[in-house]
Amino acid sequence: MEARTPEEKLQALQEFLSAVPKHKGTERLRMQVTRQMAALKKELEERKKKKVGGGEQFFVEKEGDVQLVILGFPGSGKTSLFRCLTGKEEPPGASRKPAPGILAWNGVYFQVVDTPPILSESSSGKLMALARNADALILTIDSTMDVYLQLDSLLKLLDDNRITVEKPKAIVEIEKRATGGVTIIGDLINATTQDVISLLREYNIYHAIVRIQGKATLDDIEEAIFGSYAYKPAVVMLTKVDLLDGNTLKSMAEKLMESTSLPVHLFTSTQCSSLRVEEIASYIFKELDLIKVYTRNPKTGEVEKRPIVIKRGAKVIDVARKIHSDLYKNFKYARIWSPRLVFSPQKVGRDFQLEDGDIIEIVA
Ligand SMILES: Nc1nc2c(ncn2[C@@H]2O[C@H](COP(=O)(O)OP(=O)(O)OP(=O)(O)O)[C@@H](O)[C@H]2O)c(=O)[nH]1
Ligand SMILES: [Mg+2]
């Protein structure tokens, strides 16, 4: 889990695999490791190939609260959408490298990334790495071309790269910590906390926060240790809708919505106001299970306009940690303002669980 580069990951997996005893009980595990190693090797090979051609900077450093990557086939309207979302001008014509811009929503900063087009399955490695690193995706579908072919191809490509846009029954995140034992936030099925602790111990994980959305089995937790499938919430953007007549568009949109569980939006870049920013942003925010917490300055009583964006289930101490290590180390108590409380402010301890919209003042 600490390995950062593909090279380090490959080496760590190699070492791990040679340490796993070979018997029936470890079969699944060994297969999983072997599969992951194969994927890493492929990634490394592709990278080598690209280097020969003088690799351009492709990776986009995350900034803001949520990174939203636009993906689509050539000329499907990615850059036009990007311009409407961020107000930032990008040079017209075929995009050659990713470009970041900012979309602000309720004080939350979405970093929107325009990308070069998907040209073929074999050349899409870098784009898929970009998608894997993103928090969420927008898939542009050109309404003047075969929309099903585009959507199916995009979804297949993502799936081949172990990226899913369908919300899994359980989403498990394992955050390793230096101390504190194992904390489980969320629900298990057919397993106890002790089972999870034992499982993690098998992988030499002794301190961790295990966050579960939905209900997780032990298998789900084991998958999460390997990070095998990544869930990226996505919206489908049907573009260039000004080029279709009303009835054609209506029946196309209806059929497309029936064929996918993803939200489908209609968009024309001739009118940026056709973008339903509120719906898109709030959907992604909700799917990512994030909340907004507003900090209050104890000296001035002023409430920050820009919220702290944090995972649902976060406690007061998690917010303190996110703001500054000193606030975390010297934490005394916090005061919370919220209409959900019987009275505000309420004085609370480090383990008080926060909700969306809470105002918090930390005293250290
Ligand atoms: N009529 C109309 N034309 C559009 C719309 N969106 C994009 N176009 C045109 O379609 C062409 C491609 O649009 P882009 O936004 O550059 O598409 P892209 O996906 O970024 O293209 P690549 O970077 O080459 O993959 C341009 O000529 C745009 O002017 C739209 O909503 N309506
Ligand atoms: Mg473009």
Three-state DSSP state, 295: strand
In a domain, 60, yes or no: no
Is the CB of residue 107 less than 8 Å from the CB of residue 307?
yes
Report the half-sphere exposure of 346 (CA within 13 A, side-chain side): 15
Residue nearest to atom 5 of ligand 1 (CA): 240
Read off the amino acid at residue 328: Y
Residue nearest to atom 7 of ligand 1 (CA): 77
Residue that wins the pLDDT comparison between 312 and 51: 312
* CA-based nearest residue to 143, from 267, 240, 250: 240
Read off the amino acid at residue 87: G
Mean pLDDT of the chain: 91
Q: Can you give the CATH number for the domain in which 319 is found?
A: 3.10.20.30
Asked if 181 and 45 sit in the same domain, the reply is no
Residue nearest to atom 14 of ligand 1 (CA): 77
Asked if 36 and 157 sit in the same domain, the reply is no
Taking only the tens place, the pLDDT of each residue in 128-169 is 999 999 999 999 999 999 999 999 999 999 998 989 998 888
Mean pLDDT throughout 225-232? 81
pLDDT over threshold 90, residue 109 = yes
- Which atom, in ligand 1's list, is nearest to the CA of 93? 16
Q: Which residues have C-beta atoms less than 6 Å from ligand 1?
A: 72, 74-80, 94-95, 117, 239-240, 242-243, 268-270
Pocket test for ligand 1, best of 69, 78, 80 (most atoms within 8 A of CB): 80
- Which atom, in ligand 1's list, is nearest to the CA of 81? 15
Q: Name the band, by pLDDT with cuts 50, 70 and 90, for residue 52.
A: low
DSSP β-bridge partners for residue 231: 164
Q: What is the pLDDT of residue 16?
A: 87
Q: What percentage of residues in the chain have a pLDDT greater than 90?
A: 70
96 CA distance to ligand 2 middle (Å) = 8
Q: Name the band, by pLDDT with cuts 50, 70 and 90, for residue 56.
A: low
Taking only the tens place, the pLDDT of each residue in 83-99 is 999 999 988 888 999 99
Report the half-sphere exposure of 226 (CA within 13 A, side-chain side): 23
Q: What is the pLDDT of residue 201?
A: 93
Read off the amino acid at residue 6: P
Highest mean pLDDT, choosing among 98-102, 199-203, 296-300: 98-102
What DSSP state is assigned to residue 148?
H
Q: What is the pLDDT of residue 228?
A: 66
- Which atom, in ligand 1's list, is nearest to the CA of 115? 23
Q: What angle do CA 333, 335, 338 make, to 5 degrees?
A: 150
**Backbone torsions φ then ψ of 33, nearest 5 degrees:** -65, -45
In a domain, 356, yes or no: yes
120 CA distance to ligand 1 middle (Å) = 19
Mean pLDDT throughout 330-355? 96
Among residues 55, 79, 96, the one where a domain terminates is: 55
Q: What is the pLDDT of residue 319?
A: 95
Is the CB of residue 177 less than 8 Å from the CB of residue 207?
yes
Asked if 144 and 274 sit in the same domain, the reply is yes
In a domain, 193, yes or no: yes
Q: Hey, what long-range contacts does 298-305 have (CB within 8 A, 24 or more apart)?
A: 298/361, 298/362, 298/363, 303/359, 305/107
Asked if 25 and 154 sit in the same domain, the reply is no
Asked if 84 and 139 sit in the same domain, the reply is yes
* CA-based nearest residue to 311, from 333, 295, 294, 289: 289
Mean pLDDT throughout 322-329? 91
**CA-based radius of gyration for the chain:** 23
Mean pLDDT throughout 248-254? 96
In a domain, 61, yes or no: no
Q: Name the band, by pLDDT with cuts 50, 70 and 90, for residue 307.
A: very high
Read off the amino acid at residue 306: R
Q: What is the pLDDT of residue 54?
A: 47
Asked if 141 and 122 sit in the same domain, the reply is yes
* Nearest ligand (C-alpha, residue 83): 1
Q: What is the pLDDT of residue 239?
A: 98
As residues whose CB is below 5 A from the ion ligand 2, the structure lists: 78-79, 95
Residue that wins the pLDDT comparison between 288 and 21: 288
Asked if 150 and 255 sit in the same domain, the reply is yes
The count of structural domains within the chain is: 4
Asked if 184 and 300 sit in the same domain, the reply is no
What DSSP state is assigned to residue 306?
S
Among residues 243, 268, 286, the one where a domain terminates is: 286
Three-state DSSP state, 215: strand
In a domain, 194, yes or no: yes
Asked if 2 and 83 sit in the same domain, the reply is no
DSSP β-bridge partners for residue 68: 112, 136
Residue nearest to atom 4 of ligand 1 (CA): 240
Pocket test for ligand 1, best of 269, 270, 274, 275 (most atoms within 8 A of CB): 269
Asked if 20 and 32 sit in the same domain, the reply is yes
* CA-based nearest residue to 262, from 289, 234, 232: 234
pLDDT over threshold 70, residue 50 = no
Asked if 237 and 258 sit in the same domain, the reply is yes
Taking only the tens place, the pLDDT of each residue in 164-194 is 998 888 889 898 899 999 999 999 999 999 9
In a domain, 279, yes or no: yes
Distance between CA 349 and CA 339 in Å, rounded?
A: 19
Asked if 162 and 178 sit in the same domain, the reply is no
Q: 206 is in which domain, residue-wise?
A: 169-227
In a domain, 14, yes or no: yes
- Which atom, in ligand 1's list, is nearest to the CA of 243? 1
In a domain, 336, yes or no: yes
110 CA distance to ligand 2 middle (Å) = 19
349 CA distance to ligand 1 middle (Å) = 53
Distance between CA 246 and CA 15 in Å, rounded?
A: 60
pLDDT over threshold 80, residue 226 = no
Among residues 227, 243, 264, the one where a domain terminates is: 227
